[in-house]
């Protein structure tokens, strides 16, 4: 609950403004991940095949794939947040229109000549 006693204060305009940020950041992270994977794959195994290089490579290579997977999951997460915010925004607009329509109908039904029912 907020300081003003409201439980939930969602503004459709805020959702509409925020959603594209998540989409843009998902694209940026995806591009960075693609660049990283491409560059690292292009280098091959620059640490060499001596004892120190083999030790480093043995530790680094499994972690490289884990980092790539984790970054891919982050891209999907950001994309999901974007889609959820768009859906939530659309839902709030639909709900607002539904409620407005209910009150419009009630007013129209309650309006009778002579002012009383």
**Residue pLDDT, tens place only, 62-87:** 898 898 999 999 999 999 998 888 88
The residue whose two tokens read 């029912």 is: 117
Residue ranges making up the domain that contains 18:
12-38+49-103
Note whether residue 114 is domain-resident.
Answer: no
CB of 81 within 8 A of CB of 22? yes
Note whether residue 34 is domain-resident.
Answer: yes
Residues whose CB falls within 8 Å of the CB of residue 22, separated by 6 or more in sequence, listed in order: 78, 79, 81, 82, 85
**Encoding tokens for residue 25?**
């950041």
pTM check: above 0.75: no
CA distance 73 to 69: 6
Q: How many domains does the chain have?
A: 1
């Amino acid at each position: 609950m907020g300081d003003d006693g409201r439980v939930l204060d969602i503004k459709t305009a805020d959702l509409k403004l925020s959603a594209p940020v998540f989409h843009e950041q998902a694209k940026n992270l995806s591009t960075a991940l693609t660049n990283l994977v491409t560059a690292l794959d292009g280098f091959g195994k620059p640490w060499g095949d001596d004892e120190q290089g083999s030790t480093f490579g043995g530790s680094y290579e499994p972690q490289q794939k884990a980092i790539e997977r984790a970054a891919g999951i982050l891209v999907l997460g950001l994309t999901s947040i974007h889609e959820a915010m768009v859906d939530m925004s659309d839902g709030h607009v639909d709900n607002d229109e539904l409620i407005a329509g209910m009150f419009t109908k009630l007013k129209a039904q309650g309006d009778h000549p002579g002012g009383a029912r």
